[in-house]
Amino acid sequence: MASTIGFRIARLPHLWRSILDRRLAPLGLTQTRWVTLYHLWKLGEGNPQCDLARAIGVEAPSLVRTLGQLEEQGLVERRACDNDRRSKRIYLTPAAMPLLEQIDSVVLAARQEMLAGLSEQDLDQLDKWLALIEANGLTIQARDQDGPTA
């Protein structure tokens, strides 16, 4: 049983995004674009590009390309930081808000369907277990980066 847990945990994000991609396709958004918009919305506006890239888990050059496309669509705006002209902060435009509300509606509906059959208590316990697994993984990662073990 324990040997399949890692595979299930790895498969879930792909399944989740596949469902959302299919449901968001009618809005004309690629996965990269809706993920970027949604993260920017949830993080809050005015974050530096590097923070957004870290939150999404992509390399900065990939994000720059996506932000350029979203900017062309009139959905985001990049502004130079006051204290560092080389760094850019990202802002949503008013045109993005109706689209984000549609995305959020799709995400919430999919979440309800994916979590069907789980009580609030189940979800709380699942969250605790996932947090523990994540903490263990981060500890292992930090230890492994410190060098070989004896």
- Give the pLDDT confidence of 58-113 residue by residue, as tens digits: 988 889 999 999 999 999 999 887 776 677 899 999 999 999 999 999 999 999 99
Residue 149: is its pLDDT beyond 60?
no
Task: Name the band, by pLDDT with cuts 50, 70 and 90, for residue 148.
Answer: low
Q: Is 49 exposed, middle or buried (0-12, 13-18, 19+ CB in 10 A)?
A: middle
CA nearest to 35, candidates 7, 6, 50, 57: 57
- Give the pLDDT confidence of 87-101 residue by residue, as tens digits: 789 999 999 999 999
The three-point CA angle 135-141-145 to 5° equals: 150
pTM: 0.75
The total of other beta-carbon atoms located within 10 Å of residue 9's CB is: 11
Query: CATH: 1.10.1040.10, 1.10.10.10, 1.10.510.10, 1.10.1580.10. Which one for 29-104?
Result: 1.10.10.10
Query: Token pair of 120, please?
Result: 């609030």
Q: Where are the domains of the chain?
A: 29-104
